[in-house]
Amino acid sequence: MNNGLAQSLYQQIGAANLREIVQTFYPLVKADPLLTELFPENLSETMNKQEAFLTGFLGGPPLYHQTYGHPMLRGRHMRFKITIDHARAWFECFSEAVNSVDLESGVKTELLEAVGRVAAALVNSE
């Protein structure tokens, strides 16, 4: 498989696992007491956007950009009050979703570090 060129994290995870992570993640978010009220009842659009975003963010095709334009994630999250506790809760749900799929532990660590940095950067409220 590896021709000597570094594989993107997206390739190492695989599209099917990424989808599985996103599909597992949002029900956990909806079950979280702190996060639930921020999210819509119907999560299908949210899931599509997140899957598209993560695909490009992890080095795959830029699906989010193609459909929705520049992600400007901090700007798009400004209408929500996100505290460090929200970011921690989000990250806990994401970690649980990542741990539910079968991936090499180094790949999981890299993925969690990458999204963890984004989560920390989205905190916009004391």
Taking the least distance from each CB to ligand HEM, the nearer of 4 and 76 is 76
Task: Identify the sign of the CA torsion 118, 124, 125, 126.
Answer: positive
d(CA 126, CA 22): 28
Taking the least distance from each CB to ligand HEM, the nearer of 14 and 56 is 56
CB 96 within 8 A of CB 28: yes
Q: What residues numbered 69-108 form the site for ligand HEM, per CB under 6 A?
A: 71, 73, 76-77, 80, 82, 86-87, 90
CB 18 within 8 A of CB 55: yes
- By the criterion CB under 6 A, which residues form the site for ligand HEM? 35, 38-40, 45-46, 49-50, 53, 68, 71, 73, 76-77, 80, 82, 86-87, 90, 115, 118-119, 122
